[in-house]
Chain A
Amino acid sequence: MGIQFRQDERFRESFSYFNSDAGVLRFPFPFGEDRYMYSVNIEPHTRGGPTPAFAHAFDIDEHYIAECQERALVLADDPGRCQVLPHMMPAQWDTLELLMESLSADYPEHFSLTKDGDSWRWINRPLGIDQSFVFGRPETLPCEPFEYITRQAQGDFTLQDQRDDNLFVDGGMVTTQADWSLDFDIGMSFHEWHGPVPLAHDIGVFDRALRFLLRLQYGHPVRRLNWTMTINPRLDTSPENYPDWGPDRTTVTPENVAEKVHLRVELQTLFRLPRSNAILFGIRCYLLSLKDIERVEKWRKRLHRVLTTLPPELAEYKGLTRYRDTILAHLAPHDDGAELSLGIQPDQTVLPPA
């Protein structure tokens, strides 16, 4: 059966983006409670969770082909979105192996990997790729192994080297980011690249998260959710292109708020890599319009409550200030204050018509 991939989606200019009902219900809604604050909300990345988005090591959905095409467009404009420092070559091969093995095991109808010693053959049916290469020999691939495989995956990825009791972001493929620059941050330590995040430093979130991640074990990946909001279904909200997408934030009106505003969720996963001892950080981005969120009663009410109580520093950092009140005015009439179940699961299996 397999996934029905959407064709002709566009995440820029003349936007075209649509979620099926199943696509809405599998969305990893990030709010398990009525209030939000930073925390070390890390849990084991085991198979299964509140929605099907948690079912596999690396989630593939109906937007796969379109997102890979969007990534290629970003890289054509700005090759610096993919960079890996020279000492990270073992981590590049670790990443390629992990992604190929996971995707071929989890989605055998779409991907296959066969090995004869170091001679590997990779087939990616949705993208029409059939590549034979020698594992460990970069010259047998069309580009370096990290770029090669992350061009065929949804979401951003970074590579963290572990040394001096710290983690250093020494590589990445970053084309669908929530306003941070790999080109600027590459080489930074854990606290340095998180420097701009407000409030969390003072409550010790990064100290605790770093201590936890330094002990991350091979074979025991972990995950967390992070979120922001994006105007229009735009994947590339990079600081590089901020002059192009920044003005979108002034275009939200009571009439268009439900179509324009998207909740942007990152399903972040962390994998210890076996040869390099580096950590692969997956940042899988999901976009869901306010209009689709409203079709889920629990999510509609909870989003209203979270945005009402969000600390102003967080609203500012996430860039919501200009349009938060418009969202609240839109959602308020549809929140009766009824108690909602804990957790992020939608609590319904059928959606009302869009």
Chain B
Amino acid sequence: MTDQGIKSRPIYAALHRDSSGRRHLYISAGSGPPPEALGPDGLESWAVAPTSCEGTLRRPDRAGERRFRSTRQLMETLERRLASERMGLRLYAEGPEDFLWDVYGIAQAQGLGRQEVFLKQSGSLARRVQCVHCKTFNEGVTTTIVRCAGCGANLFVRDHFSRRLSAFQGVKVDAEQPGDVPQAERAYP
């Protein structure tokens, strides 16, 4: 079930410092330290504090480090930051797939090229699933079948992934035989 043979899934490699860049920004959905391969020199590092912090941010451990209360706050700051960036920035992102492609989308909209953004999946495999019928986004889906929060259809989570929407496609599983809904399996922990 986890490999449906669909070839639109991105493949991710470990993060390495791209020496052609002049400034380096590492963005993480978690709160661990940046990978050593990004090097310490002049690396800026942004991370989202765990919800256990309840909105209280501790002081950064080192220069260039910055913490955010939520993913949303980080994304909004990133958008403003990239709007005023010049050539030479390299952006590295690490986190769940929807986080990565949200970052990528912001970077593209602000004019960064494909070769200037590096992504590495880590953490939860939970998926953002867009209902193809009503277009609602269902966040944090861990099962093969999920009930759409928008229209109520039981959606099969197809392995078809849109980088633009940072989302997988959900299709009504019992469209042909209404009520014939297989048991959902936990597949994306």
Interface range, B side: 20 to 34
Q: Verify A240–B8 contact, CB threshold 8 A.
A: no
Task: List 13 additional A-B contacts (Cβ < 8 Å) besides A184-B162, A239-B169.
Answer: A181-B169, A184-B160, A186-B164, A187-B162, A188-B162, A191-B8, A195-B6, A195-B9, A195-B160, A196-B160, A242-B175, A249-B176, A322-B176
A-B contact pairs, 17 of them (CB 8 A): A184-B130, A184-B160, A184-B165, A186-B164, A187-B162, A192-B163, A195-B159, A195-B160, A196-B6, A196-B160, A240-B133, A242-B133, A242-B171, A242-B172, A246-B175, A246-B176, A249-B176
Specify which chain B residues have a CB less than 8 angstroms from the CB of A247 in the assembled complex.
Answer: 175-178
Q: Verify A201–B7 contact, CB threshold 8 A.
A: yes
Q: Does A194 contact B (CB under 8 A)?
A: yes
Min CB gap A168→B, angstroms: 10
Q: Does B186 contact A (CB under 8 A)?
A: no
Q: Does B16 contact A (CB under 8 A)?
A: no
Complex Cα distance, B178 from A73, in Å, reads: 26
Q: Verify B135–A183 contact, CB threshold 8 A.
A: yes
Query: Interface of A with B (CB < 8 Å)?
Result: 164, 181, 183-188, 191-196, 198, 201, 239-243, 246-247, 249-250, 322
Q: Verify A193–B8 contact, CB threshold 8 A.
A: yes
Give the contacting residue for A184; candidates B6, B114, B153, B169; CB below 8 A: B169
Complex Cα distance, B144 from A2, in Å, reads: 54
Min CB gap A262→B, angstroms: 17
Min CB gap B108→A, angstroms: 10
Q: Which of B158, B160, B169 has the most CB of A within 10 A?
A: B160
Complex Cα distance, B5 from A322, in Å, reads: 22
Q: What is the total of A-B residue contacts with beta carbons within 8 Å?
A: 69
Q: Does B57 contact A (CB under 8 A)?
A: no
Q: Which residue of B lies closest to A202 (CB)?
A: B5
One digit per residue, 1 when the CB lies within 8 angstroms of any chain A CB and 0 when it does not, for chain B 54-68 equals 000000000000000
Q: Verify B171–A195 contact, CB threshold 8 A.
A: no
Give the contacting residue for A194; candidates B7, B135, B161; CB below 8 A: B7
Q: Verify B176–A250 contact, CB threshold 8 A.
A: yes
Q: Which of B6, B132, B163 has the most CB of A within 10 A?
A: B132
Give the contacting residue for B153; candidates A191, A198, A243, A322; CB below 8 A: A243
- Decide yes or no: A243 and B175 within 8 Å by CB, A181-B169, A188-B162, A196-B160 being known contacts: yes
Specify which chain A residues have a CB less than 8 angstroms from the CB of B8 in the assembled complex.
Answer: 188, 191-196
Complex Cα distance, B42 from A71, in Å, reads: 56
Q: Verify A250–B177 contact, CB threshold 8 A.
A: yes
Q: Which residue of B lies closest to A200 (CB)?
A: B7
Q: Verify B132–A184 contact, CB threshold 8 A.
A: yes
Q: Verify A188–B163 contact, CB threshold 8 A.
A: yes
Q: Verify B176–A240 contact, CB threshold 8 A.
A: no
Q: Which residue of A lies closest to B132 (CB)?
A: A239
